[in-house]
Each structure stands twice: as C-alpha cells, then as structure tokens.
Amino acid sequence: MSIDLGLLGAHLREHEVTPDGAADPERAGYGTLWLDASPPADLALAERLLDATTRLAIGTSVVNAWTADAETVAASYHRLEAKHPSRFLLGVGIGHPEVHAEYASPYATLMSYVDRLTGAGVPAGRIVLAALGPRMLRLARDRTAGTLTGLITPEHTRRARAVLGTGKLVLPGHFALPEPDADRARAIARSAPPGTALGVTNYARNLRRLGYTEADLSGSGSDRLIDDLVAHGTPDTVAKRLLAHLDAGADQVGVYPLGNDPIGALLVVADAVRATWRG
C-alpha cells in the first residue's frame, strides 16, 4: 500500500514539535511531518508523533548513515509499520564532511546502507534518499522510492525530476518566512539556515552546479541567493514561490519555517497555499 504524503510537508526539528503540537499541522492540511536533523535509530519521536495523530504521514529528514545503525533503524521501521501501517517514510542520508570525522566514500557508504536496510526487510518503496548531485539522484532512482532534497531551488527540482523520471518521488523542501519586509526577512534567513549552511561542502557544490557564484556563496549569502532559497514576503507571495516546485515536477513541497514561531508560520503558509493552489 502506498503512502499518502499530501501536497505539503512540514519540516520541524525535535525541539520544535511535540506529539500534541503535531496535531496543528495535521489540522492545517499538511500531509507529512518531516522530522529533521538526524533523528536517532530508535525512531522513538516518530512513533510518538504517529501515536498522537490520525492521518498524518511521518518521515525522517534524514536518518544519518554514520550515526544510526541500519539494522536498528530497520527494526524501528518494522515496529512503526506494524503499529501505523502506511504512514511512515524513511528518509536517509550521508551527512556532511564538516560534521562527521569518519566521512568517506559517501556514494558507496550510502549504497551499502540501503542494502542493509532492504536486507533487513525495509521495502525500497518506503525509503527516500537525501540526494543533491546527479550520481546520488541516480542512486535514489535505482534503489529507492525517490529523493528528499533541501537548500535548493525549483530549478534543482526540475533537474531532479529529469534524472528520476516518472514514477519516483521528488520531495523538495524550501525555506519559508511570511515576512513582507525584505531586509528583515533576509536578516532572519542569514542568521539561520540557509545563511549558516552555505559553507557546507555538499550544499555549496550543489549551489555552484545551479549557477551561483563564489560572490553569492560568500559570507551568509548574496541577496540573490537568499531570495532564491527563502520564500519570503506576503503569505500569497510565499505560497506562489513554494508552489513553483510543483510546477517543476515535485510530488510534494516541504516547508522549512523560519522565524521564532515555526508552527505559526506553517499555519499561515498552509492557509495561503489553499487559497492559491489550483492543481
């Protein structure tokens, strides 16, 4: 049975969401809640979020191949699937060399990790890969249900769809900030990801592939880059920027809320998307 991921995904970190709080994105119409920032292999929070909601799909964005034992993750997957059938999607990724001292052979390591998961009975159709470059995107196409991407633009979504073809999931996440003051919005963005993530090798390399220059990537990012990575402005403007990913071939657009009220931002975005989307 396939998973209904919905049009919108809500990206939240552990400190931003509680089981009780997960009901708010669900009521607002989000189809998936993506649990960000390398959740541990026991997937305990994902289970509590599933317990506290009724239809919301829960996904990991992403389980880290360096820090989460594959066999433990597989056992956790089976526990969640038995308890909440067809509501959990396992996003996995390789992390970043700036964070993991053992980082090496990322392609081979992630391929081996997927092999261990599927060897332990996790269906390939319930795995998505955090993939940015063409080689990782092809791995996502050939070995899993698709790709989960972040710090990207609709142009990257268009390229990812071209690599993956039809029948595979393309699940981009885009930063969103309902703030009409452009200078204030850029300042907020530069003090958090994406501004603080531009020095991360994997992200920077991907942005260069998309045509951004060293001037764009220097410091906490040029206005052009920040404006492309963060949908800011009125709620209507934010919604239209996010929905560009669907026009580029995405199956769902994930919302990374910025600002000091992430749940509130998610609710504002959901209302604006409902008023804008005509798909």
Q: Quick check: is 134 in a domain?
A: yes
The mean pLDDT of 81-97, rounded to a whole number, is 92
pLDDT (0 to 100) of residue 99: 60
The tens digit of pLDDT for each residue in 233-262 reads 999 999 999 999 999 999 999 999 999 999
Tell whether 3 is covered by a domain. no
pLDDT band at 279 (very low <50, low <70, confident <90, very high): low
Q: How many domains does the chain have?
A: 1
Residue 278, pLDDT score: 75
User: What CATH number is attached to the domain comprising 202?
Assistant: 3.20.20.30
Instruction: Give the residue-averaged pLDDT of 100-114.
Output: 83
**What confidence score (pLDDT) does residue 138 get?**
98
Q: Which residue has the higher pLDDT, 85 or 278?
A: 85
> Mind listing the pLDDT tens digit for each residue in 23-70?
999 999 999 999 998 899 999 999 999 999 999 999 999 999 999 999
What integer best gives the mean pLDDT of the chain?
Answer: 95
Answer whether residue 2 is part of any domain: no
Mean pLDDT of 14-21: 92
User: Is residue 127 within 8 Å of residue 144, measured between CB atoms?
Assistant: yes
Reported as a pLDDT band with limits 50, 70 and 90, residue 103 is: low
Range of the domain at 113: 8-276
Q: Considering the entire predicted model, what is its pTM?
A: 0.96
Query: How big is the chain, counted in residues?
Result: 279
Tens-digit pLDDT profile for residues 122-170: 999 999 999 999 999 999 999 999 999 999 999 999 999 999 999 999 9
Any domain includes 74 = yes
Q: Is residue 120 part of a domain?
A: yes
